[in-house]
Structure 1
Amino acid sequence: MSHATVGGPVVEFGHVEHVTVHFDDLDAMGILHNARYAVLLERALTPYWTDRGISFQGGQHSSPDVFHAVREFTISYRTPITGTGPVAVHFWLEHFGTSSARYAFEFRSMDGHTRYADGTRSIVRLDPATLRPTAWTDTARAVAATLLRPAAVPA
């Protein structure tokens, strides 16, 4: 299935969300500060899950699946983002296990031609009482299925 955001790149899997780079996201050289990529990725992921009923609003979790922690974040910077404005964030799931998940992502220009950065983000769902890993709900599994990258088809 192909997902696209109006005015952005068309992708074969996952989802593309537009996020805005603001002036205060830039460093002294006018380049998106490296630490802001994690924040912008979060701003891309949040509306996707919120639109599907899994959110944190009004101080409340709409689902226990919202209670998770980032285990690992990796990123490779390819081309600097210089200045403010919209950026296309393509994200998908490479893995969705019993209690963990691994996203892959790319930051791209709005036309999709320039790849600014790419990487992975692994999370673990936690039990709020014990802070130990616990299984995702069926609701989260259903949403995650829409983001899973299809297995490679042999040629």
Structure 2
Amino acid sequence: MTSVLTHGDLAFGDVVHTAVHFDDLDAMGILHNSRYAVLVERAVSKWWADRGISFAGGQPTSPDAFNAVREYAITFHRPVSSVGDIAVHFWLEKLGTTSADYRFRVTSLDGGAVYAEGRRVNIRLDPATMRPAPWTDHARGIAAALVKP
């Protein structure tokens, strides 16, 4: 089984705690497969919002907030079978000119149980053309904290 670093021992990336709610569970009482993407989205969005890059009043606070998921892949290891907080450990494998290649692990709070892991690629878009646009130097500076050495 894959292991994950606990928040205190984190060598790269970051960990954000996010809640699993009762309505995230399926008829079998386990986290529905589609909800993992939502948990990852919430964790990554919170991380960026805490650094001033988000949407407020329907408008981006930075041009870098205007980005979309291009690819998403996930491997499930064991089911989440209860409500409450879990941890999402994520990092940038690579920050390209217009792309951000994230890797992630959804784990128990102590990092001892890995429920799922995967990859997500975001593309920064120009809102006028909806075509790929370069990340700003401001976002690159912030993202440096997530880049895996």
Q: What band does the TM-score fall into relative to the shorter chain?
A: over 0.9
User: Residues 21 and 83 of structure 2 are in contact (CA less than 8 Å); yes or no, is this contact kept in structure 1?
Assistant: yes
> Corresponding residue for 1:25?
24
- How many residue pairs match? The answer is 145
How far apart in 2 are the matches of 1:47 and 1:139? 17
How far off is 1:3 after superposition?
A: 8.5
How far apart in 2 are the matches of 1:145 and 1:3? 20
User: Residues 19 and 86 of structure 1 are in contact (CA less than 8 Å); yes or no, is this contact kept in structure 2?
Assistant: yes
> Corresponding residue for 1:36?
35
Q: Which runs of 5+ in 2 are unaligned?
A: none
> Corresponding residue for 2:10?
11
How far off is 1:10 after superposition?
A: 3.2
Q: Which structure 1 residue ranges, 4+ long, deviate > 2 Å from structure 2?
A: none
Q: Which runs of 5+ in 1 are unaligned?
A: 151-155
User: Residues 94 and 104 of structure 1 are in contact (CA less than 8 Å); yes or no, is this contact kept in structure 2?
Assistant: yes
> Corresponding residue for 1:45?
44
SS at match of 1:40: helix
How far apart in 1 are the matches of 2:119 and 2:21? 23
> Corresponding residue for 1:138?
137
Question: AA paired with 2:117?
Answer: D
> Corresponding residue for 2:113?
114
For the aligned residues, what is the CA RMSD? 1.4
Identity of aligned residues (%): 58
More RCO (CA 8 Å, sep 6+): 2
User: Residues 126 and 133 of structure 2 are in contact (CA less than 8 Å); yes or no, is this contact kept in structure 1?
Assistant: yes
Residues 118, 133 of structure 1: CA spacing in aligned structure 2 closer, same or farther, 3 A cutoff? same
How far apart in 2 are the matches of 1:44 and 1:134? 24
> Corresponding residue for 1:126?
125
User: Residues 6 and 110 of structure 2 are in contact (CA less than 8 Å); yes or no, is this contact kept in structure 1?
Assistant: no
